[in-house]
């Protein structure tokens, strides 16, 4: 049995044609699932009995499950259990411009950024496309409302699970799928260069965010081991190429770690790296975890911000969400045992 929610519409067309069905049936099935929320082939009204049988004999639905929901004012954190007992988290945020969901792409993470909680135990496995899609579907059902935007910034490195990530984007972006506009979808990567290139060749306008976090190689390698494989100068070339190929603005994420990467010299060095590029910098106030790092003070963030501004760089400070329920950037985990400590801070 194949999992129906792991296929993009095009892939499903091929599957159905191979089973002797007409191509357009894939569109009908897609609409039943993603538009009408019907997860039972026998209840798909306009589909013939014969096609239903083909569907029932070849495809199945598999579900992840909401295990727990924690709420803060503008944030809800969802803990999900997967078919094999693993756990992931996703976060719903209420912005003034609408609802956004931050989804996980892997169980754990292998990137081992020194400041991030999600990678502390390494990667257990990649998520399949349906496990990412269902985070959205189950959250929409839970809140009885459509969400407006998606950020792939939860647990995991999306470009380390590239094929499933791309399937997920096709499914949510498809107008017969969840129909979320590509400009409302943002993928964040620690900088896996070959995938940045692949991503630039895809036919959709999804936003790309790069976790830079440092202004030179020495510092970046210390904070982000991935830099030893894909260093800063190569990454800057990849970003430049991505922008010229896609004509899209790239977001540069820069987490503010007290006295580590938040000095004036770092700001000047960063401005130098980014000068002339169509990017904007999103300064992320550090959410403290069990790591050795501390949050930069508001004053240090402000002066970093000002140096960038004075040097002509577009910059914003990320709004903080979910700190009270450990639902903020870099606080998500796939370990359920740690849940007890997560409730109270």
284 binds ligand SAH (CB under 6 A): yes
User: Which member of 92, 116, 136, 308 binds ligand SAH (CB under 6 A)?
Assistant: 116
Check residue 31 and report its DSSP letter.
I
One of 89, 128, 157, 342 is an active-site residue; which one?
89
Tell the smallest beta-carbon distance from residue 111 to ligand SAH (Å): 6
Going through 10-97 in order, the beta strands assigned E by DSSP cover 59-60, 65-71, 75-81, 87-95
Residues in binding contact with ligand SAH, number by CB under 6 A? 19
CA distance 261 to 114: 13
Tell the smallest beta-carbon distance from residue 113 to ligand SAH (Å): 6
Q: Is 113 one of the annotated active-site residues of the chain?
A: no
DSSP codes of every residue in 292-313? S--BPPHHHHHHHHHHHHHTT-
Q: Compute the radius of gyration of the chain from its Cα atoms.
A: 21
- Which letter, b or e, does each residue of 21-44 get, where b requires 16 or more Cβ atoms within 10 Å of its Cβ? beeebbebbbbbbbeeeeeebeeb
255 binds ligand SAH (CB under 6 A): yes
115 binds ligand SAH (CB under 6 A): yes
| Candidate segments 56-64, 75-83, 265-273, 326-334, binder of ligand SAH by CB under 6 A | 326-334
Asked if 250 and 258 touch (Cβ cutoff 8 Å), the reply is no
110 binds ligand SAH (CB under 6 A): no
Q: Is 89 one of the annotated active-site residues of the chain?
A: yes
Residue with Cβ nearer ligand SAH (3 or 200): 200
One of 109, 116, 190, 329 is an active-site residue; which one?
329
128 binds ligand SAH (CB under 6 A): no
Residue with Cβ nearer ligand SAH (4 or 187): 187
DSSP codes of every residue in 55-77? HHHHEE----EEEEEEE-SSEEE
| Candidate segments 29-37, 58-66, 83-91, 107-115, binder of ligand SAH by CB under 6 A | 107-115
- Cβ contacts of 310 within 8 Å, gap of 6 or more: none
Backbone angles phi, psi at 81, to 5 degrees: -105, 135
Residue with Cβ nearer ligand SAH (215 or 287): 287
The residues binding ligand SAH (CB under 6 A) are 111, 113, 115-116, 153, 157, 188-190, 211, 253, 255, 284, 286-287, 289, 329-331
> Where in the sequence numbering do the catalytic residues fall?
89, 329
């Amino acid at each position: 049995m194949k999992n129906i929610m792991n296929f993009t519409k095009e892939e499903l067309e091929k599957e159905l044609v191979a089973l002797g069905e007409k191509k357009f049936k894939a569109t009908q099935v897609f609409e039943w699932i993603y538009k009408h929320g019907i997860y039972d082939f026998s209840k798909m009204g306009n589909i013939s009995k014969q096609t239903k049988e083909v569907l029932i004999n070849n495809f199945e639905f598999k579900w992840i499950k909401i295990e727990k929901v924690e709420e803060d004012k503008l944030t809800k954190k969802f803990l999900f259990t997967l078919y094999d007992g693993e756990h992931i988290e996703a976060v719903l945020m209420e912005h003034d411009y609408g609802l956004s969901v931050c989804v996980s792409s892997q169980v754990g993470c292998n990137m081992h950024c020194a400041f991030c909680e999600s990678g502390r135990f390494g990667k257990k496995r990649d998520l399949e496309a349906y496990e990412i899609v269902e985070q959205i579907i189950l959250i929409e059902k839970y809140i009885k409302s459509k969400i407006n935007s998606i950020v792939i910034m939860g647990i995991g490195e999306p470009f380390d699970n590239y094929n499933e990530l791309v399937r997920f984007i096709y499914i949510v972006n498809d107008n017969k799928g969840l129909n979320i506009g590509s400009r409302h979808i943002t993928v964040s990567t620690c900088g896996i260069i070959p995938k940045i290139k692949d991503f630039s060749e895809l036919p959709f306008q999804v936003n790309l965010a790069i976790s830079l976090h440092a202004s030179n190689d020495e510092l970046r390698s210390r904070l982000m081991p991935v830099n030893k494989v894909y260093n800063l100068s190569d990454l800057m070339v990849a970003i430049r190429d991505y922008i010229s190929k896609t004509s899209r603005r790239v977001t540069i994420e820069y987490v503010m770690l007290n006295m580590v990467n938040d000095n004036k010299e770092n700001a000047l060095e960063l401005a130098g790296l980014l000068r002339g590029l169509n990017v904007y910098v999103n300064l992320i106030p550090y959410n403290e975890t069990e790591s050795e790092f501390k949050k930069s003070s508001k004053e240090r963030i402000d002066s970093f911000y000002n140096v960038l501004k004075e040097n002509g760089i577009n910059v914003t400070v990320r709004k903080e969400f979910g700190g009270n329920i450990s639902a903020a950037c870099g606080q998500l985990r796939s370990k359920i045992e740690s849940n007890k400590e997560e409730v109270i801070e």
